Amino acid sequence: MDNADFIVRFWGVRGSIACPGPDTARYGGNTSCVEVSLADGTVLVLDAGTGIRELGIELFERGARKLNILLTHLHLDHLEGLRFFGPLFDERIALDIWGPPSTVLSLEERVRRSFSPPLFPIDLRDLPARVRFRDVPRERWSVGGATLAADLVIHPGPTVGFRVETAEAVITPGRSLPPKTSGRSIAPVARIARLATIFQRR
């Protein structure tokens, strides 16, 4: 979706496993990754599924230097593309990675698991990009020209839903809920999605 003040592009919409091929050509076969780019140059990337690899190539071409990744949760289909995200290998890039807090391990410790042997040959700490890991705050916060909000939602493991507000729109990538979900359980999703211009439910 293009607007004078923002662009929303879906680089991956699949769950569980990437499945490219003729049967998925209409919507693509990559796993979760949504780009929200604002007119002021702010780039927000919602989740880091396999679609983020192609997004990284395009961000190189645009010359983007400051990026923000918003992780709803750390299941592999929302994280597996991060290891192949080109900007991580560029020392000119400053990248903030936001995600749900945990009482057990920090966000960095949890993400680093996928960047370690035998899963991957390169340690996250050896990548040249300037990366900061940040727990999503309880209160609203701003990134560039966007105001962000996050709330815990029902899903296995620590999971948050995000709300991105600009002067022109409210964008909310939704979360899939378990089949038997009470009205009380979906209340955080309803709060996040209230008056949303774009609501993506996957």
The domain in which residue 134 lies consists of: 6-200
The stretch 146-154 carries a mean pLDDT of 87
**Residue 3's pLDDT is what?**
57
* 31: in domain: yes
Name the domain count of the chain.
1
* 62: in domain: yes
Categorize the per-residue pLDDT at 1 as very low, low, confident or very high, splitting at 50, 70 and 90: low
* 154: in domain: yes
Q: How would you write the chain as a 3-class SS string?
A: CECCCEEEEEEECECCCCCCCHHHCCCCCCECEEEEEECCCCEEEECCCCCHHHHHHHHHHHCCCEEEEECCCCCHHHCCCHHHCHHHHCCCCEEEEEECCCCCCCHHHHHHHHHCCCCCCCCHHHCCCEEEEEECCCCCEEECCEEEEEEECCCCCCCEEEEEECCCCEEEECCCCCCCCCCCCCHHHHHHHCCCCEEECC
* 36: in domain: yes
* 173: in domain: yes
Express each pLDDT in 15-40 by its tens digit.
Answer: 888 988 888 888 889 999 999 999 88
Q: Which CATH number fits the domain that encloses residue 32?
A: 3.60.15.10
The stretch 87-116 carries a mean pLDDT of 95
**Residue 171's pLDDT is what?**
79
**Residue 182's pLDDT is what?**
47
* 131: in domain: yes
Express each pLDDT in 52-63 by its tens digit.
Answer: 999 999 999 999
* 1: in domain: no
